[in-house]
């Protein structure tokens, strides 16, 4: 990695648009531009531009004018990267974009690596690591919820929560160290109950953050939903109804959908990934049985299983459907199972309705598009949106989740140690490990400043 050179890249999406923005950052940013930029007036000349200023003029290669552009000038350290930075707004043709980039390369800039602008911002002290990671998420966010979450992390909400965790852990470590280094002092040592209390507080925060990772992961990557049902139960029709477009193949021949198809649906800013599957009906057909195996694999990957059946079939043979539901419940214990009775528009007898409703099935007609709102509502209930919009902290980064998981394990070991009454110096080993694991998110703990400081502040130490 190098930070000494000047990098450039297209900052708007690839392809043609009305305008495009090319970003140039590094010590040579302005001197490179000066070689090619011809300002419309003295006021727009680069050397005299203020720390923040827009300048207007032409980019020329030799005598040839490439484009008329607007350049936003940000002088270091007053820029995103903390370096000299220019954002060139040019016309959006792919040809112009390419010509300008080629020219910049020729004049000494190099193509930026993915994420390099943000990395430079991190190294130049413009943001901490968790904020830098949030920027990457922000750029990748495709929906409202993921966007909200990334914004929150970038603003430091996550760091604040972690600081609270650190404080609890320091309190615990202090109580342990007090018994060790100051056993000769006339101070009151924490009793075991107090220690368990402190430990439980640490565990609660850790667990809460870890649980939020489920939500965070869903918000970032979408909630996987498997649609399961007998052939011709109407799975593809349902999917199409939800998606409002003909993507899955819908025919009247049972078992047409042999390959699992994924489709995404954005409900109130949350992404759902629907996985259409073949049915799970027992079969002699080889292709079909491969499909069934695949179905169970897909179920394993999902969080929610939609089981769809033909309500007419239920009227004829409820036991068959109930057996399938039971089979699914056993296969996918840890998933949320929503049972959908489809094709209710074709039901004649009102008696059946009562029966279906009493089973807590969701009644719908994929073809007539009835009952879909209720289904959407139930799907949304699977995502803890309350936490997000109440500004609770949500862990969305796998690296953070891993560090939290590791430290939770350390804390569990501390608890085991407490249970088996091992001496505090051994407990402290696992506490140190927990601090180390959290260190990658919260920064290291300085024993002197943090733990000893805490002890001296709270207890009268010293002969």
Partner 1 sequence: MSAKYIVPRETCDMLNVDYDVVVVGGGHAGVEAASAAARLGKTTLLVTMNLQTIAQMSCNPAMGGIAKGQILREIDALGGVSALVADKTAIQFRMLNRSKGPAMWSPRVQSDRMRYAEEMRLTLERTPKLDFFQDMVTDLEVEKGKVVGVSTSMGVKIPARKVILTNGTFLNGLIHIGDKQFGGGRSGERASKGITERLVDLGFEAGRMKTGTPPRVDGRSLDYSKMEEQRGDEYPGKFSYSSESTTLIKQRSCYITYTNEQVHEALKEGFDRSPMFNGAIDSTGPRYCPSVEEKINRFAHKNRHQIFVEPEGWETVEVYVNGFSTSLPEEVQARALRLIPGFENAKIFRPGYAIEYDYFPPTQLFHSLETRLVDGLYFAGQINGTTGYEEAACQGLMAGINAARSIDELEAVILDRSEAYIGVLIDDLIQKGTKEPYRMFTSRAEYRIILRQDNADERLTPKGYEIGLIDEGRWKDFQEKQSKTEFLQNWFTNHSIERDEANAVLKRHGLSQVNQKLKIAKLLARPQLGVRSFMHYKPLKDVVDKHNIKAENLEQAEIALKYAGYIGKEKENASKLSRLESLSIPKGLDYSKLASMSLEAREKLGKLKPSNIKEAKAISGVSPADISVLLVYMGR
- Answer whether 327's CB lies under 8 Å from 296's CB: no
* Closest residue by Cα to residue 331 from 290, 300, 308: 300
Stretch that binds partner 1, among 255-263, 265-273, 365-373, 423-431 (CB under 8 A): 423-431
Least separation in angstroms between CB 428 and partner 1: 7
Judged by CB under 8 A, does residue 189 bind partner 1? no
Q: How far is the CB of 199 from partner 1 (least distance, A)?
A: 18
The span from the CA of 328 to the CA of 323, in Å, is 9
Please answer whether residues 121 and 82 qualify as being in contact, where contact means their C-beta atoms are separated by less than 8 angstroms. Answer: yes
Q: Which of 108, 255, 318, 443 binds partner 1 (CB under 8 A)?
A: 443
**# of chain residues touching partner 1 (CB under 8 A):** 44
Residue 408 binding partner 1, by CB under 8 A: no
> Within 93-156, where are the H helices?
94-106, 116-123, 129-140, 144-154
Binders of partner 1 in range 235-254 (CB under 8 A): none
Q: How far is the CB of 149 from partner 1 (least distance, A)?
A: 23
- Please report whether residue 186 would count as binding partner 1 according to CB under 8 A: yes
Mask: binding to partner 1, 128-157, rule CB under 8 A, as x and -?
xx----------------------------
Tokens of 84: 């000299």
- Look at residues 425, 422, 450 and name the one whose alpha carbon lies nearest to residue 435: 450
Residue 113 is a binding residue for partner 1 (CB under 8 A): no
- Least separation in angstroms between residue 437's CB and partner 1 is 12
Q: Which stretch binds partner 1 (CB under 8 A): 124-132, 134-142, 274-282, 354-362?
A: 124-132
In the bound complex, what is the minimum distance in angstroms from residue 410's beta carbon to partner 1? Answer: 12
Q: Minimum distance between the CB of residue 19 and partner 1, rounded to whole angstroms?
A: 32
In whole angstroms, the minimum distance from the beta carbon of 93 to partner 1 comes to 35
Give CA–CA dist 217/137, Å, rounded. 11
Q: Residues 316, 333, 334, 448: which binds partner 1 (CB under 8 A)? A: 448
**Residue 18 near partner 1 by CB under 8 A:** no
User: Taking CB under 8 A as the rule, does residue 114 contact partner 1?
Assistant: no
CA distances from 148 to 114, 118, 152, 157 (A): 23, 19, 6, 12
For 98, counting Cβ atoms within 10 Å of its Cβ (0-12 exposed, 13-18 middle, 19+ buried), the class is exposed
Of the pair 301, 425, the CB lying nearest partner 1 is at: 425
- Taking alpha carbons only, the member of 430, 462, 461 closest to residue 172 is 430
The one among 424, 434, 437, 438 contacting partner 1 by CB under 8 A: 424
User: Should residue 461 be labelled a site residue for partner 1 when binding is judged by CB under 8 A?
Assistant: yes
CB of 420 to partner 1, least distance (A): 8
CA pair distance 180, 429, nearest whole angstrom: 13
Selected range binding partner 1 among 60-68, 223-231, 334-342, 431-439, rule: CB under 8 A: 431-439
Q: Which strands form 64-74's sheet, in the order they lie side by side?
A: 37-39, 52-61, 64-74, 85-91, 19-25, 7-10, 110-111
Structure-token pair, residue 276: 């259409």
**Is residue 72 a contact residue for partner 1 (CB under 8 A)?**
no
Contact between 428 and partner 1 by CB under 8 A: the answer reads yes
Interaction of residue 183 with partner 1, rule CB under 8 A? yes
Helix (H, G, I), strand (E, B) or coil at 38: strand
- CA 164, CA 152: separation in Å to the nearest integer? 17
Helix (H) or strand (E) holding 19: strand 19-25
Q: Could you give the strand order of the β-sheet that contains 362-363, starting from the edge strand earlier in sequence? A: 261-267, 270-276, 223-229, 304-310, 336-342, 362-363
386 is a contact residue toward partner 1 (CB under 8 A): no
In angstroms, give the least distance from the CB of 259 to partner 1. Answer: 40
Using CB under 8 A as the binding rule, whether residue 348 contacts partner 1 is answered as no
Helix (H), strand (E) at residue 57: strand 52-61
Q: Does 65 bind partner 1 (CB under 8 A)?
A: no
Positions that interact with partner 1 (CB under 8 A): 1, 3-4, 77, 82, 122-125, 128-129, 177, 179-186, 420-426, 428-429, 432-433, 439, 443-444, 446-448, 451-452, 456, 460-463
């Amino acid at each position: 990695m190098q930070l000494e050179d000047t990098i450039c890249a297209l900052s708007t999406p690839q392809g043609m648009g009305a305008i495009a923005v090319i970003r140039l950052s590094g010590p040579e940013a302005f001197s490179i531009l000066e070689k090619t930029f011809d300002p419309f007036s003295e006021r727009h000349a680069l050397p005299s531009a203020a720390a923040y200023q827009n300048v207007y003029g032409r980019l020329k290669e030799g005598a040839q004018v490439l484009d008329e552009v607007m350049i936003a000038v940000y002088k270091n350290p007053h820029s995103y990267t903390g370096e000299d930075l220019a954002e060139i707004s040019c016309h959006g043709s792919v040809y112009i974009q390419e010509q300008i980039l080629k020219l910049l390369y020729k004049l000494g800039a190099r193509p930026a690596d993915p994420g390099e602008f943000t990395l430079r911002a991190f190294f130049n002290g413009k943001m901490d690591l968790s904020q830098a990671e949030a920027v990457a998420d922000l750029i990748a966010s495709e929906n409202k919820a993921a966007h909200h979450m990334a914004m929150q992390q970038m603003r430091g909400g996550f760091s604040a929560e972690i600081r609270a965790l650190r404080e609890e852990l320091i309190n615990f470590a202090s109580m342990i160290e007090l018994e060790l280094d100051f056993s000769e002092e006339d101070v009151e040592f924490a009793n075991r109950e107090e220690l368990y209390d402190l430990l439980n507080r640490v565990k609660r925060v850790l667990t809460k953050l870890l649980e939020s990772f489920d939500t965070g992961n869903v918000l970032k990557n979408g909630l996987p939903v498997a649609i399961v049902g007998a052939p011709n139960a109407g799975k593809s029709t349902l999917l199409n109804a939800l998606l409002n477009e003909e993507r899955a193949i819908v025919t009247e021949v049972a078992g047409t959908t042999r390959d699992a198809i994924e489709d995404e649906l954005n409900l109130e800013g949350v992404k759902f990934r629907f996985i259409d599957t073949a049915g799970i009906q027992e079969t002699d057909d080889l292709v079909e049985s491969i499909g069934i195996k695949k179905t169970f694999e897909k179920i394993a990957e999902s969080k929610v299983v939609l089981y769809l059946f033909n309500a007419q079939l239920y009227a004829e043979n409820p036991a068959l459907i109930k057996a399938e539901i039971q089979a699914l419940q056993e296969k996918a214990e840890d998933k949320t199972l929503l049972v959908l009775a489809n094709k209710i528009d074709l039901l004649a007898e009102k008696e059946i309705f009562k029966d279906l409703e009493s089973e807590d099935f969701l009644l719908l007609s994929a073809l007539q598009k009835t009952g879909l709102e209720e289904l959407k509502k139930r799907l949304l209930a699977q995502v803890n949106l309350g936490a997000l919009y109440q500004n609770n902290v949500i862990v969305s980064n796998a690296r953070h989740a891993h560090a939290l998981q590791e430290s939770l394990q350390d804390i569990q070991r501390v608890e085991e140690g407490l249970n088996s009454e091992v001496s505090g110096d051994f407990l402290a080993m696992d506490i140190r490990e927990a601090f180390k694991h959290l260190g990658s998110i919260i920064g290291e703990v300085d024993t002197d400043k943090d733990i000893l400081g805490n002890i001296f502040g709270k207890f009268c130490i010293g002969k």
